[in-house]
Structure formats: structure tokens, C-alpha cells
Amino acid sequence: MKEIKNFINGLYVTNVSGKTYEKRNPIDNSLIGMVYEAGQPEVDSAVTASRAALKGPWGKLSVVDRCAMLDGLVAEISYRFDDFLQAEIADTGKPAHLASHIDIPRGAANFKIFTDTIKNVSTESFEMRTPDGKAARSYGVRTPRGVIAIICPWNLPLLLMTWKAGPALACGNTVVVKPSEATPSTATLLGEVMNKVGVPPGVYNVVNGFGVNSAGSFLTAHPGVNGITFTGESKTGTAIMKAAADGIRPVSLELGGKNAAVVFADCDFENALATVTRSVFENCGQVCLGTERVYVEQPIFDQFVSALKDRAAAIKPGRPFDADTKIGPLVSKIHQKKVLSYYAKAKAEGAKIVLGGGVPDMPDDLKDGCWVEPTIWTGLPESSSIVREEIFGPCCHIQPFDTEEEVLNMVNDSPYGLATSIHTQDIGRASRLATQIEVGLCWINSWFLRDLRTPFGGSKQSGIGREGGLHSLEFYTELRNVMIKY
Ligand code: NAD
């Protein structure tokens, strides 16, 4: 039986309480291993080790030496690519083609982008006259913030964790990571890689467990933590922000969304269709940037609904390593229950079910997995909970519209503001809408196309702060001002 431990001060450790929980494979509900849940004593040890490491060899490394060590992680993750791939797939059930093209390579690349950033960033400098006729010069200095708590979700486990650990470590901080209880494996495995490349003990720590009354809340409440970066649901973000208020610790929050795709009649139909198919169904709809509201201009509404139905009907569920598998299961039984409750609610609210709405018929050995059908609805009012609430499954509601003003109002009538995509050949209209739609990320004739130097984050209830390139330094460093009187 596989044991998934905590990684504290360079060592794999169990716990004082003896508490473990089962980690099951979402494709068939088979038992993968037992996870040692970190309690207060383990979180205390991890934060203590992390604080000590700030003053130890890690804190004394030059930026160049620190970055060279972190660049070594990229090579070592690539060397152990298959171990990371197997671990991520066992935890999530996602198709191998997805994990091997996105999760693991991007998970590794997140270290390199930020070592490049921190080595090349400059700070401002100003000279001024003083009242006594002499002069003074101010200049900025970036210092690490300290111990960073990283709280992660389960949808892109390694990728989203290193999106935070990468810049945090490049900036000279130390980290305590709390992976999702549903996906503990790759963050824990990364401890071996840290040791291999010589990252000193205490710089990277992992505490496994749940949120409330477990590793998550013990970590966010810990007074030894200097900043908290979180990706997950908006209501969890609220709880974390409250915990961060004690001690006035800064937070960076990447939260939920109810993202729209807007398809105008003049779009490149095939491109819009292929892009919306991806944005709705990729990773079984478990992508924070994914589309759950599709708005299609009236003249092509019927044609688009029918074409999307055909595309979605061809998305074959199956085992991660089967060549023809196009979609995996949801991450857990808990999440499957949540998504299916929305499928039932759509029916009860009177939606027209264009496709899906239930559990697919799977072979006997996969029947106990967390499968749901790709699902498309039409016919609901904008006030419906299906159109307003984040479901986080492979599903969307499609609404027709007549005018630009009408669709703008519908898209903005949401408490969320994470991402949108606009499909049109009229670039003037697309640019106009891109500034009027209240989101942090807007794609035109594309989706999930990322240049890692650019800001990433949400507005409204989708988050606080921006990460990516230079923008990550806002959170992971303290910018000090030094003034010299000549
Ligand atoms: P979640 O909020 O349930 O859990 C996220 C993490 O928070 C887990 O590790 C969990 O154990 C921990 N947690 C829960 N309660 C806590 C508490 N009170 N204190 C401290 N930690 C706590 O989210 P999830 O279900 O794992 O992930 C799905 C959500 O993440 C969706 O809402 C999705 O939109 C969002 N998400 C957002 C982005 C983004 O970049 N904006 C990216 C990916 C996922």
C-alpha cells in the first residue's frame, strides 16, 4: 500500500495523531494509497523549518546561484517526467495526452520563467534636491517576503502549485505547500526533486490534509506565515482572507469563475466551434478559465448549437492511457455528486437538454469511477442557478443574443470576473468589448493561450492580485525604498 507522507525540513514524515485518509483513483474508485494528514504539530514544524531556512544557506545564496539551483528542478522534473505523469494521472484520472502536454511540462516551466524574471528585473531610482541645496537619491530594493503559505486546488495540481512556488522561491522566500486533499501526490513527490538538486531543507515543505480544522486552516492561521497565496473556490478565499486579517498578512487569491464565450455571426465558424469545444470540455470542464456560459448571435444560433452538440457527442470517455480517450472522469465522488446535482437542477428548472445530463455507460471495471456526460443546455433564463453558479464540470448553457449591448450586459451580470473569449472577425468590436467586459483575462478568437510574462488573475469575486512575470513580484517580494542624503 502506497503511503503519502508530509515533506518537512527535507524529510518525509508521518504525523503525531496517526490520522490517515484514503486517496482513491477517480477512474474506478480503486485505492491508490493512504495519506498522512498533517495536524497542528506538523504545520508548526513545517513553518519553523521554513523560518529557519530563510536565515540559513538559502538566505545567503546569491540570486544567480539560487536561480541556478531552481533551474536544476526543471531538468530533474523532465528526467522524472514519467513518475510525475503517473502520479498526476492516478490522482486526477485525466487523459495522458493532456497531462503530458500541459500539467507536467508547464509545472516544470513555471520555475524557469520566474528565475529569468528575477535575474533581469530592475528597480527605480530618483535623485532630488534637498532644502539645504544638496542632493539625495532614492532607490528600490526587493527583498523576500518570508514564509509563504501556498494553498492549492485539485484541477491542475502540479501546474498551479509551481505557478506559486516558482516565483516564491525565485524571489528568495521559503514555502509551505498545502495541496488539495484530492491530489496530494505530485507536490509530495517534488520533495524528492528538491533534495536531489540540493535545495536546502526547510525551503520547500508539504503538509497534506483538508481545509477546515486541518492542515489548510492551521497553516493560514499560523503567525509564522508572512503571506498566503491561494487558488480555489471564492467562498474558501473569503475564509482565507479572514484568517489573513490576523497579523495583517497579504493574500493573493485566484478564485472561481462563470466564464462566458461570445460568438458573433461573423466569426470564423470552425475556429470558434473548435475553441468553444475545448473551453467547455477540456479537463472534463475542470479548468478555472473554462466556459460555462456561451452566447451566440441569433443568425447562427441553431447552427452553432447543433455543431457543438456533434463535437461534444464525439468526446469519448475512457482510461487515461487509451489512445482514443478524449475525456477523463471528474476528480472525486464528492465533485461528481455536486455536478450531477446541477444536472438534476437544470432539468428541474426546465432546461432543454441538447446533450448529456447524466452518467455515461462505462465498461464494468470503470463503472465505479466519477464519470459524467458532456452536457449542453439551452432555454434557461439568465437568472437560473445553472447560468449564475460555477459548476466546474463538462457543461454549458447556450443563450442567443441580438445586439452587442445586450450580450455585454448579460456577460457582465455575474458576481465573477475571471475570463472570457470573444469570437468575431471585427477586431474593432472585439477590442471594444475586451475593455468593457469585467474580467481579468480576455481572449479574442482563442482561449487559454498564455504568455507567462503577462498578468493572470480575476476581478470581482474571481480574485485579488495578478500573478505572472513581473506581476508576481508584487506579492512575493517586499519593495523597500532606500534614500541616501549626499
Ligand atoms: P477549494 O476552495 O474547495 O479548495 C482549495 C484548497 O483550499 C484545498 O487545498 C482545500 O483543502 C483548501 N481549503 C479549503 N477550506 C480551507 C480553509 N478554510 N482554510 C484553508 N484552506 C482551505 O477549491 P477546489 O474545489 O479544490 O478547486 C476548485 C475551485 O478552484 C473552483 O472554484 C475553481 O474555479 C478554482 N480555481 C481557480 C483558479 C484561478 O486561477 N482563478 C484556478 C484553478 C481553480
Would you say the CB of residue 214 lies under 6 angstroms from ligand 1? no
pLDDT tens digits along 155-167: 999 999 999 999 9
| Atom of ligand 1 at shortest range from CA of 156 | 43
Distance from residue 85's CA to the centre of ligand 1 (Å): 22
Would you say the CB of residue 239 lies under 6 angstroms from ligand 1? yes
Q: Domain residue spans in the chain? A: 2-255+462-485, 259-451
Would you say the CB of residue 231 lies under 6 angstroms from ligand 1? yes
- Rounded CA-CA distance 375/357 in Å is 5
Distance from residue 331's CA to the centre of ligand 1 (Å): 13
- Rounded CA-CA distance 179/165 in Å is 12
Taking alpha carbons only, the member of 155, 395, 161, 374 closest to residue 283 is: 155
Residue in this structure with the C-alpha cell 490534509, named with its chain if needed: 209
In the prediction, which pLDDT does 12 show?
98
pLDDT tens digits along 359-399: 999 999 999 999 999 999 999 999 999 999 999 999 999 99
Percentages of the chain per state (helix, strand, coil), in multiples of 5: 40, 25, 35
In the prediction, which pLDDT does 297 show?
98
In the prediction, which pLDDT does 1 show?
81
* Long-range CB contacts (within 8 A, 24+) of 133-136: 134/485, 134/486, 135/486, 136/483, 136/484, 136/485, 136/486
Say if residues 263 and 271 touch (Cβ distance below 8 Å): no
What CATH number was assigned to the domain covering residues 2-255+462-485? 3.40.605.10
Alpha carbons within 13 A on the beta-carbon side of 239: 15
Would you say the CB of residue 416 lies under 6 angstroms from ligand 1? no
Residue nearest to atom 16 of ligand 1 (CA): 211
Among 21, 151, 154, which residue has the most ligand 1 atoms within 8 Å of its CB, making it the best to mutate? 151
In the prediction, which pLDDT does 121 show?
93
Return the number of other C-beta atoms located less than 10 Å from residue 223's C-beta: 9
DSSP character for 182? T
Would you say the CB of residue 255 lies under 6 angstroms from ligand 1? yes
Which candidate in 152, 288, 370, 395 is catalytic? 288
Residue nearest to atom 8 of ligand 1 (CA): 180
Which candidate in 37, 42, 181, 254 is catalytic? 254
Would you say the CB of residue 152 lies under 6 angstroms from ligand 1? yes
Alpha carbons within 13 A on the beta-carbon side of 197: 23
Distance from residue 155's CA to the centre of ligand 1 (Å): 9
- Rounded CA-CA distance 252/230 in Å is 6
Say if residues 360 and 373 touch (Cβ distance below 8 Å): yes
Q: Which helix (H) or strand (E) holds 377?
A: strand 375-378
Distance from residue 69's CA to the centre of ligand 1 (Å): 30
| Atom of ligand 1 at shortest range from CA of 181 | 11
Residue ranges for the chain with pLDDT beneath 50: none
Would you say the CB of residue 356 lies under 6 angstroms from ligand 1? no
The domain made up of 259-451 has a fold known as Aldehyde Dehydrogenase; Chain A, domain 2 (3.40.309)
Distance from residue 233's CA to the centre of ligand 1 (Å): 4
Residue nearest to atom 22 of ligand 1 (CA): 211
Distance from residue 370's CA to the centre of ligand 1 (Å): 19
| Atom of ligand 1 at shortest range from CA of 154 | 26
- Rounded CA-CA distance 330/392 in Å is 9
| 254 a catalytic residue | yes
- Rounded CA-CA distance 454/231 in Å is 18
Distance from residue 253's CA to the centre of ligand 1 (Å): 10
Would you say the CB of residue 155 lies under 6 angstroms from ligand 1? yes
State how beta strands 20-24 and 31-36 pair: antiparallel
Would you say the CB of residue 390 lies under 6 angstroms from ligand 1? yes
In the prediction, which pLDDT does 265 show?
98
In the prediction, which pLDDT does 353 show?
98
Q: How far is CA 407 from CA 62, 250, 433, in A?
A: 52, 36, 10
- Radius of gyration over alpha carbons of the chain, in Å? 23
In the prediction, which pLDDT does 13 show?
98
